[in-house]
Structure 1
Amino acid sequence: MLKTICYISDSSEYESIESIKKIYLKAKQNNLKRNITGVLIFHNGNFLQVLEGVEEHVDLTYDKIRFDTRHRNIIKVINNTIEQRIFEDYNFGFSIVKSSQEFNELNEYLNWLKQADNKVANKVILMVENFIGVLT
């Protein structure tokens, strides 16, 4: 069974671009091993991440994140089973969004997804759009 979790959190310290890249590369490596797709957005000390994949793998990954000391104030905002992945075709499955161009590309992808009119996908899209709206 497939599942998606979307959470937001504060960084425990203000991260440099280099430390964010290290976090991203490690997350990407671990998520590829578990066939987890999604999106990771970091801005002004805040994370928004969508994880999607096999339920056990997503839950295990989220539990590791919950106990990662680099995160504070973690709030799980979406925790649903899904019929299909939302971000499977987005930028090789897992991405960190850090520039205006990447925000625009993500917005284009989200607009494309809206056409599917999937209830869970629409909840995830709204969360990401709201987070991006804070950024622009």
Structure 2
Amino acid sequence: MLKTICYISDSCQDESLTALKALYAQAKKNNSKYNITGVLIYSNENFLQVLEGDSDSVDATFKRISLDRRHKNIFKVINIDIQQRIFEDYNFGFTIVNDSKELDKLYEYLEWLRKAENTLANKVVNMVENFIAQKLPKG
């Protein structure tokens, strides 16, 4: 069974570019290892992440993330079973959005999703777009 979890959290510190690159590399490696797709956005000391994949893998991944001391105030926004992945076709699976080029690609993908008229996809799209609008300048 497939599952998606989307959460937001506060960083415990203003992450340096070096620290973020290390975090992104580790997240991408771990998520590939467990066949997790999704997106991770960091801005202004906040994270938004969507994880999707096998239910056990997503739950285990979220548990590891929730124990990570680099962030706090973790709030699960979505935690449901799904029929299909939303981000599977987005940039080969798991993507980190940390620059305007990736942000533009994400906007294009979100617009494509919106046209698919999938209720869950549209909820995720709206959530991601709201987070981006509040946290990141459009590129």
TM-score bucket (shorter structure): over 0.9
Is 1:49 matched with 2:49? Answer: yes
Alignment of 1:44-123 (within 5 A): 44-123=44-123
Provide the C-alpha distance between the structure 1 equivalents of 2:104 and 2:31, rounded to a whole number of angstroms: 24
Contact 1:80-1:120 at 8 Å conserved across structures = no
TM-score by length of 2: 0.95
Provide the C-alpha distance between the structure 2 equivalents of 1:133 and 1:75, rounded to a whole number of angstroms: 19
Provide the C-alpha distance between the structure 1 equivalents of 2:95 and 2:17, rounded to a whole number of angstroms: 15
Contact 1:38-1:95 at 8 Å conserved across structures = yes
Q: Which amino acid aligns with 2:50?
A: V
C-alpha displacement of 1:115: 1.5
Provide the C-alpha distance between the structure 1 equivalents of 2:42 and 2:82, rounded to a whole number of angstroms: 25
- Which 4+ runs in 1 deviate beyond 4 A? none
TM-score by length of 1: 0.97
Unmatched tracts of structure 2, length 5 or more: none
Of all paired residues, the percent bearing the same amino acid is 62
Compute the RMSD of aligned alpha carbons: 0.8
> Secondary structure in 2 aligned to 1:95?
strand
Partner in structure 1 of residue 8 of structure 2: 8
